[in-house]
Structure 1
Amino acid sequence: MRNLITLLVVALTFSCQNSAQNNKKQQAVINAEPVEVPIKNGKAKAYFASGCFWCVEAVYESIKGVDEVINGYAGGYTKNPTYEASNTGRTGHAEAVEVIYDPKVVSFEILVDAYFASQNPTQVNGQGPDRGSQYRSIIFYQNEAQKKIILEKKDALAKKLDAKIAAEVYPFQKFWVAEDYHQNYERLHPNNSYIRNVSIPRLKRFQAKFPKELLKESH
């Protein structure tokens, strides 16, 4: 019995140490200076995490001015994250999207509006059936102007709903592109059960509440 207690104490000690190390690494990400991605060929990039990236990809691709959406991982402290590693919840990363858009057609502000309109803003660590830190909501800012927009909209929504908004606000650091088979998933796999039962209903709920003049006729 004494040996068992000793083993439990040792295990708990190492567990606490690992947790402290992970928290320290994650805090460094949160406290870092944002990295600004330059506009290239007239196109800007924005980064969001909001549950399964298959769902978020479909939402943003339905908005006018968005050229392309790429699925990947962001917000964590490990290098070269994979889908399998991200799913453990131990990388610090969340499934995220890179939104490539024309700022002359759609503003960052509208993209943030779409972000909040396309999710349950009070759900912590997930969206719908997808649960875990890898599915948490994060909005990434690249400069103080973007940060101001995000915080003002988050605060306004909190007051409107009289509830705490789950989305975290992070300085953008790096976006890791996900595996090829995750890209354009809703388009390529329309009969997948998750797409039919989760992604498409979420997209339709978003389209029903978002201003029609901001949406493409098809995506």
Structure 2
Amino acid sequence: MKIVRTPFLILLLLASISCQPKNKSGKQEVAQKEESDTHLETKLTSEQLQEYETAYFASGCFWCVEAIFESVKGVKEVYSGYSGGSEKNPTYEQVSYGRTHHAEAVEVYYDPDVISFMQLVQVFFGSHDPTTLNRQGPDRGTQYRSIAFYKNDKEKKIIQDYIDKLEAENVYGNRPIVTEVEPFEKFYKAEEYHQDYEKRNPNNSYIQNVSIPRLNRFKKNFKSYLKEDVH
């Protein structure tokens, strides 16, 4: 069972960079424009996606989390969105400013014949710091909290057993794991310009200074989990 002890997210030089929009026009309009200029691989259809299993996680800005899971072998598609709250049809502006109980989350479609739910849980814990309450990297607020969602008792046990193992092996020292283990209820897909955001906006300052370094740390520690075309 793979456990990574490397510390995550050195923050001292990143205090001024955040996934949260600084204003209504700046980041969102740039994202929409760059999206239209970039050609990405074709998404799977809804019918094709039905052939795979789904898993749901929240661990900070969904731009980062989506890119990490997309690099994992057996993962067929990842969507950024919102989950963990009760509000219906939340928007990015509502969630990112903490006006809902939702967290930025991802929906992962995966082939269980290639990668297991247990391995996805390892990816989840190995790609963020689960000891920081309502914070991940430079992003602060309950919308960036750590959540591992489960769809049945088997998944719940897998998550909880892995947390127990991490704590028993003192992976994070004296820092307790604050990840919420919650039943999955509803996932709301985020606005289209958030999908594949890292690929569409490689020169964005947040992507350059937070998302790409986070992805590279993950790739360094989980080489055997990566797709063949991921370097």
Shared fold (TM-score, shorter chain, > 0.5): yes
* Aligned partner letter, 2:185: Q
Rounded to whole Å, the distance in 2 between the matches of 1:213 and 1:147 is: 25
Matched, 1:191 2:200: no
Identity of aligned residues (%): 59
What is the aligned residue count? 180
* Aligned partner letter, 1:57: E
* Aligned partner letter, 1:71: S
1:75-115 per-residue CA deviation (whole Å, 9 max, x = no partner) reads 00101111111123231100000001101111000000000
Rounded to whole Å, the distance in 2 between the matches of 1:194 and 1:218 is: 24
Of 217, 223, 226, the match for 1:205: 217
Rounded to whole Å, the distance in 2 between the matches of 1:40 and 1:99 is: 10
Rounded to whole Å, the distance in 1 between the matches of 2:92 and 2:99 is: 12
1:21-41 per-residue CA deviation (whole Å, 9 max, x = no partner) reads xxxxxxxxxxxxxxxxxx964
Where does residue 101 of structure 2 map in the other structure? 92
* Aligned partner letter, 2:227: K
Where does residue 126 of structure 1 map in the other structure? 135
Taking structure 2 as the reference length, what is the TM-score of the superposition? 0.75
SS in 1 for 2:218: helix
SS in 2 for 1:60: helix
Kindly state the Cα deviation for residue 120 of structure 1 after the two structures are TM-superposed: 1.2
Kindly state the Cα deviation for residue 216 of structure 1 after the two structures are TM-superposed: 1.1
Where does residue 110 of structure 2 map in the other structure? 101
Taking structure 1 as the reference length, what is the TM-score of the superposition? 0.79
Unaligned runs of 5+ residues in structure 2 are: 1-47
Q: Is the 8 A contact 2:49 2:109 kept in 1?
A: no
Q: Is the 8 A contact 2:56 2:106 kept in 1?
A: yes
Kindly state the Cα deviation for residue 42 of structure 1 after the two structures are TM-superposed: 2.9
Kindly state the Cα deviation for residue 121 of structure 1 after the two structures are TM-superposed: 1.8
Rounded to whole Å, the distance in 2 between the matches of 1:201 and 1:155 is: 28
CA separation of 1:136 and 1:103: change in aligned 2, threshold 3 A = same
1:45-76 per-residue CA deviation (whole Å, 9 max, x = no partner) reads 10000000000001000100001100000000
Of 192, 209, 216, the match for 1:180: 192
Rounded to whole Å, the distance in 2 between the matches of 1:156 and 1:131 is: 27
Q: Is the 8 A contact 2:148 2:182 kept in 1?
A: yes
Of 60, 65, 69, the match for 2:74: 65
SS in 2 for 1:70: strand
SS in 2 for 1:146: helix
Matched, 1:137 2:146: yes
Where does residue 218 of structure 1 map in the other structure? 229
Rounded to whole Å, the distance in 1 between the matches of 2:91 and 2:49 is: 27
Where does residue 125 of structure 2 map in the other structure? 116
Where does residue 78 of structure 1 map in the other structure? 87
Rounded to whole Å, the distance in 2 between the matches of 1:41 and 1:178 is: 20
Identify the range of structure 1 (55-64 vs 157-166) with the bigger mean alpha-carbon deviation: 157-166
* Aligned partner letter, 1:93: H
SS in 1 for 2:212: helix
Give the structure with higher Rg (CA). 1
